Structure 1
Amino acid sequence: MRALVYHGPKTKGWDEVPDPGIVQDTDAVVRIDATTICGTDLHILGGDVPETEPGCVLGHEAVGTVTAVGGGVKNRRPGDRVLVSCISACGRCGYCRAGRYGQCRGGGGWILGHLIDGTQAEYTRVPFVDHSTHLVPAGAADEAVLMLADILPTGYEVGVLNGVVRPGDTVAVVGAGPIGLAAILTATLLSPSQVIAVEPVSSRREAAQRFGADVTVGGRADAAVSSVLEATEGLGAEVVIEAVGVPETFELCTRLVRPGGHVANVGVHGRPADLHLEDLWIKDVTITTGLVDTYSTPTLLRLIAAGRLTPEEFVTHRFALEEVVAAYDAFERSAETGALKVVMTR
């Protein structure tokens, strides 16, 4: 089969690789029907994730069809249409039993396209398939469900829920890429009084408005701080969500939060960021970090089935699976192309 293979920083290829097979009795092989590219894939290609070794097939999001299962699989069978989650869960360790699947100590966590071969391929092996996939609701479109493999649960869990958004809060989201937009969209489920998007790219500010932002702010950091303070009677936002993953945006978030507020970091950081405790120690600020656990995926699937969420609106570009290199080019140049999520289909 063919797959998108990581060959080291800044190097990748659509290569011929061996077909995946069953390794553990809890595995399944899934034919990839639709997959997408994540900002984390760009972090890997940028050299920010040294755990990913050359030769690894990239990708951790997919909708596909089960073609084979191991002898220990109980709840999936060939022919099932499934959402492949970005997080694999053994289902047995203490973290999994507490619903913290991203911290799985039984061989799961974020492994697809990171530590083992991933989903940007014609077929992939899915470990712990009973706990790491979700059946696709009848009638649900692949593109809508695919957005629940990573970005929607990530924005919702690591941003909105970790940030403890409450009705009436002001929520500021720094970065209006796919994850930031997912945080904006899912924050509206909890009835904040206003959502402010901080984003330098005009096309993404426009997208933020479509996804539910009440106010959009561009410009430099000082201008963003002034705008948020003006919109919040000089206090700052109750919840600030970092959705970029560079030191400058994290430090900006700590300037936007009000006393007693919450900074929820979602971005993947490849460089150290300064924590200005000389300013923060007196402000009673909570800072959280996290990897998505995907415990919210069943809830989000129900919202799609009920028509309350239409995440296919994230998809701006479509490619055939074998055009994945061109899809990466469009995604990497998003400021020029306007790409939010690019989808490759069989």
Structure 2
Amino acid sequence: MKAVVYEENGQIVLTDRPMPEILDERDAIVQVTLTTICSSDIHVKHGAVPRAVPGTILGHEFVGRVVETGSAVKKIKPGDRVAVNVETFCGECFFCKRGFVNNCTDEHGGWALGCRIDGGQAGYARIPFADNGLTVIPDNVTDEQALFNGDILSTGYWAAKIGEIRPADTVAVIGAGPTGLCTMLCARLYTPARIIAIDTDEYRLNLAKEKGLADITLVPGREDIEGKIRELTDGRGADTVFEVAGGKDTFQTAWKIARPNAVVVIVAMYEEVQTLPLPDMYGKNLVFKTGGVDGSYCQEIMDLTACGKLDAGFLITHRCRLDEIMEAYEVFENKKDHVIKYAVTP
């Protein structure tokens, strides 16, 4: 089968790889029907993910149809349409039992697919702990609507959940890329008074406003972000800030625009060390929440999608076949042609 493989720092290739096989009784084999490219794949490509293993098939955000299951798989059966969780997790360790599946202590726990074990930018993929890592797609949900269930929509849902948003709050989201847009989409579930989207890409900001995800949009460099947010909040600052950009100075912006006693959720994956300037923020009494997504809510997200409360299908701006994916990588990495997300068909 064709597959996108991370060969070494800076190099990925589309090549032939053998079909995956059941290696453990808890595995399932999924025929990939739709996959996509994530910014995390770009981080892997450039060596910014230390745990990434050269020779691994990329891709951790995909949907498909189950073709085979191991003898211990009980919830999933061949023929099921499924969305794949970005994380693999045993469900039995200390962290899994507390919902912190990103920290699963199994050797393949946490983000393994497309990083440490073969992922879904291919015709087929092996899914460890299939009962935990696969969510059945209802008949009334399309592959495109379900495509982001296990990764960026899970990230936005997790971020909004830990953000402690209360009705009538002011929420600021730094970064209107795919994950930032999903964070806004999920923050809406908590009925804030307004969501402020901050980004340098006006096309993405306009999309956020057009889709009802943001009430106010601000462009750094053109507007005084701190001053504007104080003006909008009677001088206080935002009640919850989501940092989803991972830019050179966006972490500093995040704490500066937060009101005293606010929650700042760090969703972004940084490529460089960030500084926490405690003397400068003394007295603000901020709560910082950080880390990788705990993909524990895939069924909730699927249920919300099925009843029309969540739909991230609008993020798909480009479509291609797997044999065209190298060109798609170039477009996605360089943010050409107003790309948000690709839908790639093997």
TM-score norm. by structure 2 comes to 0.96
- Whether the 8 Å CA contact 1:91–1:131 is kept in 2: the answer is yes
Deviates more, 1:28-37 or 1:102-111: 102-111
Q: Determine the C-alpha separation between the residues in 1 that align with 2:290 and 2:255.
A: 13
Q: Deviations over 1:95-122 (max 9, x none)?
A: 1122221111123211001111111111
Q: Determine the C-alpha separation between the residues in 2 that align with 1:85 and 1:269.
A: 22
| Shift in Å, 1:222 | 7.3
Which residue does the alignment assign to 2:49? 49
Which residue does the alignment assign to 1:10? 10
Q: Deviations over 1:263-290 (max 9, x none)?
A: 1000011211111101223111000102
**Residues 1:76 and 2:76 are matched in the alignment:** yes
Which residue does the alignment assign to 1:94? 94
Q: Determine the C-alpha separation between the residues in 2 that align with 1:160 and 1:125.
A: 30
Deviates more, 1:262-271 or 1:225-234: 225-234
SS in 1 for 2:280: helix
Q: Deviations over 1:4-37 (max 9, x none)?
A: 0012222111111121111111111111000111
Letter in 2 for 1:17: R
Which residue does the alignment assign to 2:194? 194
Q: Determine the C-alpha separation between the residues in 2 that align with 1:302 and 1:70.
A: 26
Letter in 2 for 1:172: A
| Shift in Å, 1:247 | 4.1
Q: Determine the C-alpha separation between the residues in 2 that align with 1:239 and 1:271.
A: 24
Q: Determine the C-alpha separation between the residues in 1 that align with 2:75 and 2:28.
A: 11
SS in 1 for 2:217: strand
**Residues 1:156 and 2:161 are matched in the alignment:** no
Q: Determine the C-alpha separation between the residues in 2 that align with 1:125 and 1:148.
A: 18
Q: Deviations over 1:112-143 (max 9, x none)?
A: 01111111111111000011101111121000
- Judged with a 3 Å threshold, the aligned counterparts in structure 2 of structure 1 residues 112 and 181 are, in CA distance, closer, same or farther, namely same
Q: Deviations over 1:163-213 (max 9, x none)?
A: 111111110000100011011111111110111011011111112213410
Q: Determine the C-alpha separation between the residues in 2 that align with 1:26 and 1:136.
A: 20
Q: Determine the C-alpha separation between the residues in 1 that align with 2:225 and 2:235.
A: 13
Q: Determine the C-alpha separation between the residues in 1 that align with 2:15 and 2:173.
A: 38
Which residue does the alignment assign to 1:281? 282
SS in 2 for 1:64: strand
SS in 1 for 2:74: coil
Alignment of 1:140-179 (within 5 A): 140-157=141-158, 159-179=159-179
Letter in 1 for 2:342: V
- Whether the 8 Å CA contact 1:259–1:283 is kept in 2: the answer is yes
Q: Determine the C-alpha separation between the residues in 2 that align with 1:243 and 1:221.
A: 20
Gaps of 5+ in 1: none
Which residue does the alignment assign to 1:225? 226
Letter in 2 for 1:168: A
SS in 2 for 1:49: coil
Q: Determine the C-alpha separation between the residues in 1 that align with 2:25 and 2:133.
A: 14
Which residue does the alignment assign to 2:117? 116
SS in 1 for 2:20: coil
Q: Determine the C-alpha separation between the residues in 2 that align with 1:221 and 1:237.
A: 20
Which residue does the alignment assign to 1:294? 295
Letter in 2 for 1:329: E
Which residue does the alignment assign to 1:134? 135
Q: Determine the C-alpha separation between the residues in 2 that align with 1:132 and 1:89.
A: 7
Deviates more, 1:139-148 or 1:244-253: 244-253
Residues matched between the structures, number: 344
TM-score norm. by structure 1 comes to 0.96
Deviation >3 Å, runs of 4+: none
Q: Determine the C-alpha separation between the residues in 2 that align with 1:28 and 1:41.
A: 23
Which residue does the alignment assign to 1:244? 245
- Whether the 8 Å CA contact 1:102–1:109 is kept in 2: the answer is yes
Q: Determine the C-alpha separation between the residues in 2 that align with 1:226 and 1:42.
A: 34
Which residue does the alignment assign to 1:323? 324
Gaps of 5+ in 2: none
Identity of aligned residues (%): 38
Superposition CA RMSD, Å: 1.4
Q: Determine the C-alpha separation between the residues in 2 that align with 1:340 and 1:248.
A: 22
SS in 2 for 1:278: coil
Letter in 2 for 1:128: F
Q: Determine the C-alpha separation between the residues in 1 that align with 2:288 and 2:248.
A: 15
Which residue does the alignment assign to 1:262? 263
SS in 1 for 2:253: helix
Deviates more, 1:218-227 or 1:19-28: 218-227
- Whether the 8 Å CA contact 1:246–1:271 is kept in 2: the answer is no
Q: Determine the C-alpha separation between the residues in 2 that align with 1:286 and 1:144.
A: 34
Which residue does the alignment assign to 1:36? 36
